[in-house]
Chains A and B, each alone.
Chain A
Amino acid sequence: MSIDEKVKHAADELDAHVVEMIKWHFSPDTGSPFWLDWAKEQSWDPLNEIKNFDDICQKFPNFEDEWLRDLPNEVWVPQPYKGKPFNIFETGGTTGMPKQRIGWDDFRIDYTAFSETLKDEHFPRDDYWMMVGPTGPRRLRLSIEHLANERGCSCYFVDLDPRWVKRLIASKQFDQARAYMDHAVDQALTILKHRKVSALFTTPKLLEALAERKDLIKAGIKGVFCGGTTMDKQYARFLVEEVCEGGKIGFVPTYGNTLMGLARHHPFGEENDYSIAYYAPQPRAVLRVINPDTNNTVDYDSWGRVELTTLTKEFFMPRFLERDEALRRKPWSEAPWDGVAEVRPFGAMEKNIVEGVY
């Protein structure tokens, strides 16, 4: 199948998925109280008027993240899930109430699918993982454990609270922030010293710190699954060429969050100047790179704001404007839809953004 045919096929699949999800979330016997009530207040009917993904982009307003902060979690429970205890996952929350997303099996579905994209060479089956990074109330903690389980083994955990790190940095307590990071790295090194681990999930900064204190190859690390902060081209190159010693350790960057799941990356390296492009797990989630003033996608290889739509039976979130900007990339044969590249905090070129050491 040519790439054009693949793109067309994927778009058709997305449109069909959109119709199915709209039917689910806006039908009284399957929808959640929030969306059923929301629909009643509109002058239009999503069930009749949403026929494809473009309709979502044109007819739904941006999802407001305050809804995830202010409303009780029960309003998001689709009728068929009523009475089933749910997981509560959080994002944000450095100050004030965090955003919360409830869920049941989405994280397992997302990470089972993602596991298929990992190479056994770098993430061997039946070998131990270690996660060093934000656990706590994040979806990531259970997701990584599920990923390790899915690949036949278990995962060690070292926590790092990013809310505390952000507060330390915002108040210019850099020594404290560094000491906290060292504390996390110390614990990770202790695990590596006493236990066999072959795969890591961590953040770029923690990966750097670990590699500065331990030869990760000698420690048995074969692959690193990495996410959490901005990786521009230079940083990505540095991590691949130097920290992961030019591919001796497999480096798998990802873009994801509690609201989306996770986006896989397009292969990158010298051939594309280490520009990392991510592709959402479509049709369960869709990323667009848009001009928020016009609601139109920007041209390919141009900067725009990242917009996320999540379309699962557990959660419907149309047109959420992420706090990130990115370059829009063309579809790829393994993910024949738009990608987002060189993701960075929205407005990063104009102001300093606290991203932290984590």
Chain B
Amino acid sequence: MNTPHIPCLRLGKEYRSFNESEVKDYRNGAVKATMSQVNAGVIRRDLLKIDQAREALQKFTTRELIDISAKAGELFLNGTLPLGEGGRSQSGQDYLETLSATSGLPHVMVKRNMDKIHYALTHVELILNGLTRGIDPSILDRGFGEQAGSPVCFYPTTNALGLVMPSNSPAVNSLWLPSIALKIPIIMKPGRDEPWTPFRLIQSFIAAGCPREAFGFYPTDHEGAADILRLCNRALIFGDKSTTDLYAGNPGVQVHGPGFSKVLIGEDEIENWPDFIDVMASSISDNGGRSCVNASAIIVPKYAKEIADALGKRLGSLKPLPVDDPNAVLSGFANPKMGEWIDGAIDSDLCQKGAIDTTAIYRTGPRLLQAEGGTYLCPTIVYCESMDHPLSNREFLCPYASVVEVPQSDMLNAIGPTLVVSAITKDEKFKRQLLSASNIERLNLGPISTMKISWDQPHEGNMFEFLYKRRSIGMAA
């Protein structure tokens, strides 16, 4: 059978470009799909017609779009959906296997990501309730109404949500899913190596009854990505720090960069640290260590060396397993050079005094491995003498964490901006300090994995508040 071709979707309409990129198997480089690459002008011209897309969504009530989202969730998980041109289709299992082959994620992790997305789509009502703090969906349809005895009125901040997506983790797509029920079309540049998830999601929505005009899918270059961010009044970008720094402070762009998530243990609980090794290990290594909610630092008032050694022992022996092994915990690299770069960066910084790789003695080989036909990085735990060490607050695309001793009184200043903190403490004063900390986006109190998030509480920006603003309203009787 020919290689599938994933077209651009121009307000839902398929468009094949003369320029194509290839999506390759992470192991042998076999081309699994070609993908149309469009010039930025195509996006700019389509944005001139974006009102049509918004109007198509406005013909539905929020309730109807919630129901469509739920149906799309079932189709995403189990349905056979169109895949590109020529009447080709893709089952859920096809999607799982292909995504695994191009991303390096083992099947078990792809399945977990699928389940997360399925949950998000089938619980849009719960998510919207959390995002809007309980506003009746009909208020969004009318634009005004009453909540808790007060008049409320909302207007959209944009006619399209721009998305510049990453390639590293399929579940990040769950972030944009509520925008459809909120009647805001999407204009997306998919990750270069991961068109599968957004394309399948779009097909799921369309098959569930959503107007296809609501979906712009534009594999494009840097100019196209920059125009999406510039011309959609609201946009999300995912990327490393150098990318996200460019848009920091831009109220129209929600930046999703490294999370620098952390586990903190209070002085009151530190003597019990062996009890928390499981939660620390899962925070570091679940989802292959690829998520912004994976812990990249363990901050403790004492026993840092002992904890680093225990985590090294727990994670150091993990090896790549076949992609279909249900116990697989490591992910291969779609771009082997990325693995090589990370390995080099860690080694280079380890040369600086004050840090020890505590996983090294438990590994049977090097950190960077060729295994199962692909390139892998083994888990790495680094004991750092202080937060001044360059490895103390870093995030890599693999199970990586530092363990650092910091007095409890200095912890909140030392950690810097942090997406998720799991704070293991019962100390009321420390808990109050944590609750007041402005540098923590999501706070877990108690031995909860940093990977645990709540769909009804946004942990990284509130999509409703991003896409809608409240205005004061008066109406003649």
Contact = CB atoms under 8 A, between A and B. Distances in A.
Contacts of B37: 234
Given A174-B226, A238-B39, A233 B45 contact: no
B41 A274 contact: no
Contact of A212 (B17, B38, B44): B44
Given A212-B48, A242-B45, A273 B18 contact: yes
Contacts of A232: 18-19
B31 interface: no
B227 to A, nearest CB: 10
A60 interface: no
Contacts of B361: none
B239 to A, nearest CB: 16
Interface residues of A, number: 13
Contacts of B435: none
Interface string A15-56: 000000000000000000000000000000000000000000
Contacts of A233: 18-19
A115 B410 CA distance: 77
B42 interface: yes
A159 interface: no
A contact patch SS: helix
Nearest to A172: B246
A238 B39 CA distance: 8
B18 A212 contact: no
Interface string B16-56: 01110000000000000000011101101100100000000
Contacts of A243: 41
B226 A234 contact: no
Interface string A195-238: 00000000000001000100000000000000000001111011
B44 A237 contact: no
A342 B414 CA distance: 56
B376 to A, nearest CB: 29
Contacts of B42: 238, 242
A272 B41 CA distance: 22
Contact of B18 (A174, A208, A234, A242): A234
A243 B39 CA distance: 13
A244 to B, nearest CB: 12
A234 B39 contact: yes
B7 to A, nearest CB: 13
Given A234-B18, A234-B38, A238-B39, A212 B226 contact: no
A212 B19 contact: no
A234 B44 CA distance: 15
Contacts of A238: 39, 41-42
A174 B226 CA distance: 10
A174 B225 CA distance: 13
Interface string A165-198: 0000000001000000000000000000000000
A237 B37 CA distance: 13
The listed residue with most B CB atoms (<10 A of its CB), out of A174, A273, A274, is: A174
Interface in A239-257: 242-243
B48 A234 contact: no
Contacts of A174: 226
Contacts of B45: 212, 242
Contacts of A212: 44-45, 48
A237 B18 CA distance: 9
Contact of A208 (B17, B19, B38, B41): B41
The listed residue with most B CB atoms (<10 A of its CB), out of A232, A234, A235, A237, is: A234
A353 B19 CA distance: 18
Interface string B398-423: 00000000000000000000000000
28 contacts: A174-B226, A208-B41, A208-B44, A212-B44, A212-B45, A212-B48, A232-B18, A232-B19, A233-B18, A233-B19, A234-B17, A234-B18, A234-B19, A234-B37, A234-B38, A234-B39, A235-B39, A235-B41, A237-B18, A238-B39, A238-B41, A238-B42, A242-B41, A242-B42, A242-B45, A243-B41, A273-B18, A274-B18
Given A233-B18, A234-B17, 9 more contacts: A174-B226, A208-B41, A212-B48, A233-B19, A234-B18, A234-B38, A234-B39, A238-B39, A238-B42
The 7 closest A-B pairs by CB, nearest first: A233-B18, A234-B18, A234-B19, A208-B41, A234-B17, A235-B39, A238-B41
Interface of A: 174, 208, 212, 232-235, 237-238, 242-243, 273-274
